[in-house]
Chain A
Amino acid sequence: MRLAFVDEITKLASRDKNVWLITADLGFSVFEEFKKKFPNQFLNVGVAEQNAISIAAGLAMSGKKVFVYSISTFITMRPFEQIRNDICYQNLPVYLVGGGSTFSYSTFGCTHFSLEDLGLMKILPNMAVMAPGDPIETRALVRAAYNRKGPVYIRIAKRGEPIIHSKNDRVILGKSSKLLGGNDIAILVCGRQLPNAMFAAEILKEEGIKCRVLSFHTIKPLDSAAIIKAAKETKGLITVEEHLLSGGFGSSVAEIVTDKGLHTPLIRLGISDEFPRGVGSQDYFLKKYKLTPEGIVKAAKKILKI
């Protein structure tokens, strides 16, 4: 996904001289070409995330469209107030790109685990929040961000994510993408769990259970119509996200379902209220929190009581 992101902003920057890329000293082996091609549209501010955001705001107030990159944790938490006041309150075209899903840096410890980024960003007025599920969604959302007049946060996974969409699929900011139709269970998936959701649907299909798979690459504005439709048309909803359960994508879904007075069963898969301990591979941690095809299958069966 990261390469898809770099490729897209490179295209945007060559078309529009007002496109800038700011990094807080990250992007080794990723941004070199961009820097070489567009030295006047690139700025490394050093390890200074607060300054990165304020500068991006100043540039945006002067007609620029600014992408700011750092690791998901660093770009959302250290400069939270700059994000709130400088870019959200002033409603500016500054596009934050957080590198890494929750366990992309799985051996680094929780300082590098993006557990809260989506929740922190979605709570801010004017902010749009996205976590694409494959490189095709990534490309489409980077382009969509550029066309937005207000701020954006995009969390992109690091590397090696498979392509799920077909090339001609339309991916629209603020709308979920339906990848599979079905009326037994609806799997609402956010971010790089998309392949797991598809795989789980395949397993369930073999057992005669038809799943609807909706990719919620945009968490805010949230496609509430698709959630309500799924809640009405299926026997239960499963939300899947690499994020703390508290305040994440599943929480938003639960709010919409209850606000609408619906009683559709809902199981939220995600990370419980703790700092994940220990060291291991990305899959090691995901398995621990049932963020696997098997975990999703199990949740479906629980809803269907089989």
Chain B
Amino acid sequence: MKTRNSTKLSRRFLEKLKRHALNARRSVITASAKAGSVHIASALSPIDIMVALYFDILRLNLKKKIDHNSDKFILSKGHGALGFYSVLAEKGIIPRDLLDNYGKNKSILPVHPVRGSAAGVEATTGSLGHGLGMGLGMALAQKSNNGEGRTFILLSDGECDEGSTWESVMLAGHLKLDNLIAIVDYNKIQAFGSTKEVLDLEPFTDKWRANRWDVEEVDGHDFEKMISIMRKTSTKRRKPMAIIAHTIKGKGVPFMENKLEWHYKNVKTEDLEETLSSIY
């Protein structure tokens, strides 16, 4: 794994990021237990990536719908939405009580993100292989209006089985869209097995590079390393940027880590307290 002159973050800032990530993980567990919803492990693995984005990288303008100078974020792996909502709540973009009502009748937050359902939800996803193409369109709009904005897309590894993802990868490289940044939550477990068993993505970085992307590999739970890479995503590289973030499915809840079944199971309310206290 590459570690070039990484940015040193202050201890206080690091602590703050870790606290937000911990809170977001607690929200995921609480909301999913109450709602009886699934995809918990998929919501946990990309939390640190989204905390890094929302608390350091993204320059959002939530007041103006179209602002080509602000950044965009799409959760292309829509099944991780609860993690996304939890980070949005942690950041104060959506009210926390939306999470309390998650999964209940008349709740406005679906299990997969729906554009405009709440502040900060910019695209509808849930079927895999759509987010990168939509992000490509957003990045093109920013570029063609000479905007400074960048578009960040968070993909799952399983999503990279989709042919449509690679249509977008090819074209973004061809168009030299350097304001497009794809981050892959590479937790190595997809819906019915490990990525290695189901459809091995390796040599993964080579595939992006061959399509004319800049590629960085990083520990998707190491804030300092992630942020130092993300801060370098200038829009003058003449190449789109892929960040392959090695993550742990179910990260933060010891008994869920690297367990396929936590794609499907949920925490029983009687186990909630114990589970919450085990989160790190």
Contact = CB atoms under 8 A, between A and B. Distances in A.
Given A48-B167, A85-B126, A54 B144 contact: no
Interface size of A as a range = 20 to 34
A38 to B, nearest CB: 11
Interface size of B as a range = 20 to 34
Contact of A63 (B66, B123, B129, B130): B66
A199 interface: no
A48 B175 CA distance: 15
B115 A50 contact: no
A85 B140 contact: no
User: Quick one: which of B134, B141, B144, B168 has the most chain A CB within 10 A?
Assistant: B134
B122 interface: yes
Interface in B105-161: 114-115, 122-124, 126-127, 129-130, 132-142, 144
B171 interface: yes
B94 interface: no
A61 B167 contact: no
Interface string A253-284: 00000000000000000000000000000000
Given A43-B140, A63-B66, A85-B124, A54 B130 contact: yes
B163 interface: yes
Nearest to B132: A54
A46 B167 CA distance: 9
Given A40-B144, A51-B171, A55-B133, A62 B138 contact: yes
A61 B122 contact: yes
Contacts of A55: 133-134, 136-137, 140, 168, 171
A59 interface: yes
Nearest to B123: A61
A53 B132 CA distance: 12
Interface in A68-118: 81-82, 85-86, 89-90
B164 interface: yes
Given A45-B171, A58-B140, A90 B124 contact: yes
B188 interface: no
Contact of A59 (B123, B130, B141): B141
Contacts of B132: 54
Contacts of A59: 137-138, 140-141
B172 to A, nearest CB: 10
Contacts of B135: 58
A54 B66 contact: no
B133 A46 contact: no
Contact of A58 (B68, B129, B137, B170): B137
A262 to B, nearest CB: 40
A56 interface: yes
A96 to B, nearest CB: 15
B127 A54 contact: no
Contacts of B134: 54-55, 57-58, 61, 86
B133 A50 contact: yes
Contacts of B167: 45-46, 48, 50-51
A48 B171 contact: yes
A64 B142 CA distance: 11
A43 B174 CA distance: 12
A121 B11 CA distance: 56
Contacts of A57: 133-134, 137
A54 B168 contact: yes
Contacts of B124: 85-86, 89-90
A62 B141 contact: yes
A46 B65 CA distance: 30
Given A50-B167, A51-B168, A58-B135, A64 B127 contact: no
Interface in A11-64: 40-41, 43, 45-46, 48, 50-51, 53-64
A58 B137 CA distance: 4
Nearest to A51: B167
A275 to B, nearest CB: 25
B164 A54 contact: yes
A4 B278 CA distance: 67
Nearest to B68: A62
A23 B97 CA distance: 45
Contacts of B114: 89
A90 B141 contact: no
Nearest to A47: B167
Interface of A: 40-41, 43, 45-46, 48, 50-51, 53-64, 81-82, 85-86, 89-90
10 contacts: A50-B164, A55-B168, A57-B133, A58-B134, A58-B135, A61-B122, A61-B138, A63-B65, A82-B130, A82-B164
Sort A-B residue pairs by CB-CB distance and give the 9 closest, nearest first: A58-B137, A54-B133, A62-B141, A51-B167, A55-B137, A58-B134, A48-B167, A50-B164, A59-B137
